[in-house]
Structure 1
């Protein structure tokens, strides 16, 4: 009997056959333009602005964005965003990717990896503009990510960085109107597409998009895409793009199992590898607390946390959809103004809930791990693990929702007799001992 998962696993047969004569690590030019509609992307930074106006002093051990020789429109956007020094992964990967080399990054969310791959991609487009008109629905950059929320955040970051350019950013995600996405795709030139695998395959299958001119391909959170069963779709997307020698490929993943490594070997050429370990992410910016409680006490302790003066915007993680639903309903019954993010919620409701959380209408959000990975908000004060995650990597992803953009955050895990046995694996991954303590006085129901 054949293996039912065989078609969903990467294999060495996915390897693209090499073209002769390509220097190791260097990328060949993309296919020549063939006369295209819709104009060309270029630069349109404010004429009154100069890089010299954005003064950032040299600092030992840090890389300035000034040191990367980025186009002036990108530097102006970086100045507007208040970025001065590269994050560790940006400092490690950008010198290579700006020269067109493939790159593999081991990093969690919140490390600056999104800006790392967007800056490299936009630099490519601005430094090498098409000299002729372009057809619509022919992107030059494709970014694949596993969830709608993550795709929308990537697109938002791309729009912010492309503020002073003519680069057009499109999103293709499921759960939203196909016709509206198609209408936008057909109304203006498409430079960058951020997409979930399933919706991009829908567009490819209907002939509504062509990936034959893709110069930069980004696979973000590759491990999560595999976990969610997207490998067949990702494989189809990769095969629809030019040969790996004719495109730049960047892959980012929190973990590297066998399947992810096969993807790297099959679809990339001599990539530079950069690893940012979890302990370097959370140690300084997140105060990690482990409260030892009984399962009976958990909800009372949670209410005490939410009632504390230091609690601002709080995300509470549960392991499963049913646990998330029950906790959400219990908090509502207790009078807590909260929202819920999980896969069972319709996309338009998830989007509205996330916007309400961002603008402060909702102070508490209950989420599953998959839904929570799309949350990128800089002023979240607390993350609460109502259940310790079964996968230690998910612990790092969760606490990475707070302590972002240089701010401090607090992570509180409620460990009880049902899940405290998971702590040693989390500590091993972090490379540090987590101090367990008794919670503050519990309020009575």
Structure 2
């Protein structure tokens, strides 16, 4: 059965990954909140991949991974410290495909990407080129453990033949070749396959920096670091394949926030420029709203990036369902969302902001047994400024003022240079200190007939 099992004591964590992976996994996704339940599920079902938290000090964690090792079920160890991941790698050689450390604000996004890549790696072919050396064999073993289909060859002609006859090869790793031969091979391959078609990693025969620079100029995407480490090598492989997927257009990485599924700041600004131009021609009315998660940075420092990922996912679910058909909603930053409201009258706006605020404040996140309520500050810019960045600036500063307990009424114009002060259009409007009250502003301009 082609299924994935997620084991984590956070139901929200499991729910987010289940939702984001559902369309990408053929056989389905199972979840367990504790390792005892997960052990029973493993014994009673068939799983293609298990992603479970691992703490070497907890007996139930050890029992689960020992069972996975005995059953040869591919597994990812989710750890909080690098040393715990290295410990798991040494213990569970039959099952452990990789380990993952929650060490950055985008941890949940990277974990989702890792699960997807491992789940589909049986369809990804890797060609390892070079003389039969211990280093080449080590690279092959690491890729085999990661469930890639690994092909090996030692000569230039064999590399070109393999690439021409096997369209599933997405990654070429060159190792164990003299420098001149290695550079010639890369040049020959790049003459036929662009970076959009094939990722190339290379292990220089010597540790000299100039060798690496030379290979990069010849078309290598990344230089494999020495000494070879499973953690860093697989991270480089992941980065290379993510770049390939981006070039192929398999993911909307350029304009989509991977965790929330909303468009990102780049996509938001592209859409906003078009709407702002229409508003300047008096075709539509345009209002900009900014939603900030209160206390986000402090929460990330105290509770870690996984907690704030869960927090912004909760906020995104509410905000993503609140807008109307012609509106635009985006994740502008980890702590900030943007909403473009098209043709919303000043009479409708206070009720919209009030309802959105109430819905957001009803949401909460349970993390490590503790419940935290979601709190937001919403800033609004009603006036049509000379440029959209000026509208965005007003809304962002008003939202920040509300979060910091200051008076947003003082922010009546964008923060412009002296030369641009006459660029704003429209009368300045006041915004009260609470997000549930919105100032009365001019009605949207009538449509041209």
- TM-score (normalised: structure 2): 0.26
Higher alpha-carbon Rg:
2
- TM-score (normalised: structure 1): 0.26
Structure having the higher helix fraction is 2
